């Protein structure tokens, strides 16, 4: 008698994937990860997925889903498996060449949108996937934006995301004029001119923090995008050394920082007057600096964004 293949339904696939991910112990959200991956494989929304528990999954998709779950069980981030991460409402391509954009970085972009004067020149330093640059131009197409990165491979990803969102950021007939200029080099060095605003999400994890995070999903991300040196401040020191030649006298610098780094970073740049902005969790997240005036430094001016 002929054997018929066992039908795998949405519910069956999700239950089994959740068990595998839970047993692997590499994610705190096994059920959510299983749902996101199955929706991705099927090309469905999660709402459709949850409304069709009993629908059979084609055999080819079952195999693809199983392979995706295997990758997640090894610790690989969902964003890399899908090659997709949402940032400020924009779908961005991400892969192992770039850091996965974090929700906390949206505060940096929100401040840049507010701070940048009309028609300002802006440098997105260490652009990675291009998330900050693309999101800025989507909100502020009047800006002239440079995006720098020491990694040529990362700039390839940024270029792809800029092209992907060209219709989003195009508001004039000359689309190329308002796309970011992608420049290869260290921090501010590649800039052809001083700018009005510097925006930087620099690597700021200390070596001790990286050691503690070993065995988590950041093992899959490029270390150069995370490693801030022994104390997490190496790239801030380098940026401040370059700043006088690359930031206009009336310019502003916006820096994403670690939750306990504000005072140490302020101490590195006594020539700047800083304001601190906190994120939605109430943690110090963005330092906003301008060339030093008679105003006091951050310890007397701390405020929430």
d(CA 300, CA 172): 44
83 in Cβ contact with 95 (< 8 Å): yes
pLDDT of res. 174: 47
CATH for 10-75? 1.10.8
94-103 pLDDT, tens digit each: 999 999 999 9
55-67 pLDDT, tens digit each: 999 999 999 999 9
8 in Cβ contact with 61 (< 8 Å): no
d(CA 235, CA 229): 8
pLDDT of res. 35: 97
Q: What are the start and end residues of each CATH 1.10.8 domain in the chain?
A: 10-75
Distance of CA 189 to the CA centre of its chain: 22
Nearest to 72 by CA among 62, 80, 61, 84: 80
CATH superfamily of 85-301: Vaccinia Virus protein VP39 (3.40.50.150)
Q: What are the start and end residues of each CATH 3.40.50.150 domain in the chain?
A: 85-301
pLDDT of res. 166: 72
72 in Cβ contact with 27 (< 8 Å): yes
Tens-digit pLDDT string for the chain (305 aa): 334 445 799 999 999 999 999 999 999 999 999 999 999 999 999 999 989 989 999 999 999 999 999 999 999 999 999 999 999 999 999 999 999 999 999 999 999 999 999 999 999 999 999 999 999 999 999 999 999 999 999 999 999 999 988 755 544 444 444 578 999 999 999 999 999 999 999 999 999 999 999 999 999 999 999 999 999 999 999 999 999 999 999 999 999 999 999 999 999 999 999 999 999 899 999 999 999 863 434 443 443 33
From the number of C-beta atoms within 10 Å of its C-beta (0-12, 13-18, 19+), residue 286 rates as: buried
The residues near 163 (Cβ < 8 Å, ≥ 6 apart) are: none
pLDDT of res. 75: 96
pLDDT of res. 304: 37
204-164-50 Cα angle (round to 5): 85
Q: 5: how many CB neighbours lie within 10 A of its CB?
A: 7
What is the helix (H) or strand (E) element at residue 144, kind and residue range?
A: strand 144-149
* Helix, coil or strand: residue 258: coil
291 in Cβ contact with 249 (< 8 Å): yes
66 in Cβ contact with 34 (< 8 Å): no
DSSP 50-89: HH-TTPBPPHHHHHHHHHHHHHHHTT--HHHHHT-EEETT
Tokens of 139: 């909100």
| Residue recorded with tokens 């959200």 | 29
pLDDT of res. 303: 39
69-86 pLDDT, tens digit each: 999 999 999 999 999 999
Nearest to 73 by CA among 140, 25, 133: 25
């Amino acid at each position: 008698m002929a054997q018929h293949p066992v039908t795998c339904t949405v519910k069956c696939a999700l239950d089994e994937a959740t068990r595998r991910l839970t047993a692997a112990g590499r994610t705190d959200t096994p059920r959510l990860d299983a749902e996101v991956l199955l929706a991705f494989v099927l090309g469905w929304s999660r709402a459709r997925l949850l409304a069709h528990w009993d629908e059979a999954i084609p055999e080819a998709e079952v195999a693809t889903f199983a392979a995706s779950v295997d990758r997640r069980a090894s610790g690989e981030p969902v964003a890399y498996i899908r090659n997709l991460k949402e940032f400020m409402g924009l779908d961005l391509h991400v892969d192992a060449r770039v850091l996965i954009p974090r929700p906390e970085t949206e505060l940096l972009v929100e401040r840049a949108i507010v701070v940048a004067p009309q028609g300002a020149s802006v440098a997105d330093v260490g652009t990675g996937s291009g998330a900050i640059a693309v999101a800025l131009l989507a909100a502020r197409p009047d800006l002239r934006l440079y995006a720098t990165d020491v990694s040529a491979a990362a700039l390839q990803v940024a270029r792809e995301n800029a092209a992907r969102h060209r219709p989003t950021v195009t508001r004039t007939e000359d689309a190329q004029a308002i796309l970011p200029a992608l420049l290869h080099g260290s921090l501010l060095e590649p800039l052809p001119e001083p700018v009005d605003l510097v925006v930087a999400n620099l690597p700021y994890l200390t070596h001790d923090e990286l050691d503690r995070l070993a065995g988590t999903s950041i093992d899959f991300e490029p270390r150069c995008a995370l490693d801030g040196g022994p104390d997490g401040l190496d790239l801030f020191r380098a940026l401040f050394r370059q700043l006088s030649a690359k930031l206009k006298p009336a310019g502003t610098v916006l820096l994403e920082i670690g939750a306990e780094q504000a005072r140490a970073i302020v101490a590195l740049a006594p020539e700047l007057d800083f304001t601190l902005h906190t994120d939605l969790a109430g943690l110090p997240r963005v330092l906003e600096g301008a060339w030093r005036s008679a105003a006091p430094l951050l310890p007397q001016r701390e405020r929430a964004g």
